[in-house]
Amino acid sequence: MAENLNPFENMIKQVDKVAGMLKMDKNLVACLKAPKKTVIASLPVKMDDGSVQVFEAYRVLHSDAMGPGKGGVRFHQNVNLDEVKALSGWMTWKCAIAGIPYGGAKGGVTVDPTKLSESELERLSRRYVYAMIEELGHEKDIPAPDVNTNGQIMGWMVDTYCQLKGTSQRGSFTGKPINLGGSLGRPEATGRGVRFAAEVAAKNMGLEMKGARLIVQGFGNVGSITAKLMVKECGCKLIGVSDVFGAIYDENGLDIDKLLELAAKERTIKNYVGGKKMSNEEILEKECDILVPAALENVITGKNANNIKTKLLVEAANGPTTPDADKILSDKGVVLVPDVLANAGGVIVSYFEWVQNMDHYYWTEEKVNNELREKMFHNAQAVIDMAKKHKTDLRNAGYMIAMERVADVIKIRGIFP
C-alpha cells in the first residue's frame, strides 16, 4: 500500500498511537485531534500592472486550552488546508513540550512570493491581516514568521493590525524587527534550539560532537544557522548542505563561512566552488553522524528511510519524517529528535518576545540565549527520560508529555457550554 503523505492525517495517526499507549479517554482524544477553528479567506490583491489576483489564505487555531494560539504564517505555492491544520497541531504539541502558555495555530497563503514585487508582497501581507483580523490578538492568536515570511512582513502585519484595531499592541505578532518590539536573538532562535537539542541527544547516546560528520538538508534561515552553530560552537565537520537548487557534498568538509557569504549575497549556495554536486534526495542518503533535515515536510519516507545512514537525526523542519519512515529508522537504531522538540527554539523566543512586549522591558541577547539554552536542555532531557521510562522513541515520548499536559488542562477546564 502506498504511504500516506497527508501531513494532517499523519499527525492524527501519531496522536492516536500515543493515546493508545497512554490509554487515554476517547472523549479527550477527540478534543485533542479536532482543530478548534478553521478560517479560509480569499485575498484580492491589486498588482503593480493594475490587475487583481486572488490568493487563498488560511488560519487554523488547533487549540487554545493552554493559552492563546501561536504559530507562523507561511507564503508558499504548495500551501493547502491539510498542511496548515497539521502545522497548527504540531504547534500545540511543541508549545506543550516547551512548557510555554500557548496553544497551537498556523496560517498560510498559497502564493509563490518570488513572483511578487516588494509592493505586491506588502499588499498581500496587509490583506491577510485585514481578512483574519477578528481571529488575531495578543491574548487570542499570535502569528510569527514561517516559510518565506520574515521580520519585514511581520512589520507590515503588526502595523495593519494596530491601525485597524486602534491600538499599539505590538505583542499581537512576534518575530518583528528589533525597533518594532522584536527580541534580540529571535532570528537565530530556531537554529540555536536545534543545536541545543542535538547536543543533549548526542551526549545521551555517547556521540562526540567535535569532529562529528554533519549534513544539513535545507540552507535557509534555520538550516544555515544550525550549520553555523554546530560547526563553530560544537566542532562538527560539515560535509553536506543543500538548498532548493541542489546539494553539495565534500567528505573533507565544506567552508561554512563561504557558504554563509554566498547565501547572504546570492540567496543560494549553488555557486559554491568545490565539493560534489548532487540532488536534495541524494544528500539525505550520504553517510554521516548527524543529519539535519531543515527544509519542508515528508522528505524522509518509507521509500528512502532504509537508505538513511546516520546515527542521529535532528528534525529542524516541521514534519520531515513520515510515520512509515519513523519505524524503519527506529529499527535501524537511528536516534531521532522530533520536530516538536528540536525546532521549538523559535516559538520559545517568540514567547520571550511576547513577554517583553507585555512588560515593555527588553532583555539582552545574552539573557535571551541563556534562557533558551536552559529551556531546550531541560525539555530535551525530559523527553529523553520519558522515552527511557516507557522504552519508546523520542517522538512518542514528546507526544506523551504534550498530550498529557493538554489533556489535563482540558479536564480541569471542562467542556463549555
Own/partner pairs, 255-258, CB within 8 angstroms, 24+ separation: 256/227, 256/228, 256/231, 256/232
Return d(Cα 58, Cα 107) in angstroms, integer: 5
Q: In the chain, what are the domain boundaries? A: 19-172, 187-337
The per-residue pLDDT for range 79-94, each reduced to its tens digit, is 999 999 999 999 999 9
The per-residue pLDDT for range 5-54, each reduced to its tens digit, is 788 998 999 999 999 999 999 999 999 999 999 999 999 999 999 999 99
Return d(Cα 264, Cα 219) in angstroms, integer: 11
Three-state DSSP class for 214?
strand
Q: Return the amino acid letter for 192.
A: R
Bridge partner residues of 215 (DSSP): 240, 291
Q: What is the pLDDT of residue 5?
A: 75
Instruction: Name residue, grid cell 511543541.
Output: 94
Residue 122 has pLDDT above 70, yes or no: yes
Q: Which of 106, 176, 286, 311 is catalytic?
A: 106
Q: Do domains 19-172 and 187-337 have the same CATH topology?
A: yes
Residue 3 has pLDDT above 80, yes or no: no
The Cβ of residue 87 has, within 10 Å, a number of other Cβ atoms equal to 30
The per-residue pLDDT for range 164-191, each reduced to its tens digit, is 999 999 999 999 999 999 999 999 999 9
Picking from 183, 204, 227, the residue whose alpha carbon sits closest to that of residue 348 is 183
Residue 335 has pLDDT above 80, yes or no: yes
Return d(Cα 54, Cα 165) in angstroms, integer: 25
Asked if 228 contacts 187 with a C-beta cutoff of 8 angstroms, the reply is no
Bridge partner residues of 110 (DSSP): 76
Total length of the chain: 417
Residue 263 has pLDDT above 90, yes or no: yes
Q: What is the pLDDT of residue 4?
A: 67
Indicate the fold that domain 187-337 takes in CATH. Answer: Rossmann fold (3.40.50)
| Chain mean pLDDT for the chain | 96
Q: What is the pLDDT of residue 296?
A: 81
Return d(Cα 99, Cα 310) in angstroms, integer: 30
Mind giving me the DSSP string for 46-115?
A: E-TTS-EEEEEEEEEE---SSSSEEEEEEEETT--HHHHHHHHHHHHHHHHHHT-S-EEEEEEEE--GGG
Sign of CA dihedral 84, 99, 348, 192: negative
Residue 1 has pLDDT above 50, yes or no: no
The per-residue pLDDT for range 310-323, each reduced to its tens digit, is 999 999 998 899 98
Instruction: Name residue, grid cell 548526542.
Output: 202
The per-residue pLDDT for range 216-255, each reduced to its tens digit, is 999 998 999 999 999 999 999 999 999 999 999 999 999 9
Average pLDDT over residues 117-134: 98
Residue 2 has pLDDT above 70, yes or no: no
Query: In CATH, which superfamily holds the domain spanning 19-172?
Result: Leucine Dehydrogenase, chain A, domain 1 (3.40.50.10860)
Is 176 annotated as catalytic? no
Enumerate residues 6+ apart whose C-beta is below 8 A from 21: 390, 392, 396, 400
The per-residue pLDDT for range 357-381, each reduced to its tens digit, is 999 999 999 999 999 999 999 999 9
* Cis before 417? omega within 30: yes
Average pLDDT over residues 382-410: 97
Enumerate residues 6+ apart whose C-beta is below 8 A from 165: 133, 137
pTM of the model: 0.94
Pairing between strand 246-249 and 276-278? antiparallel
Q: What is the pLDDT of residue 10?
A: 87
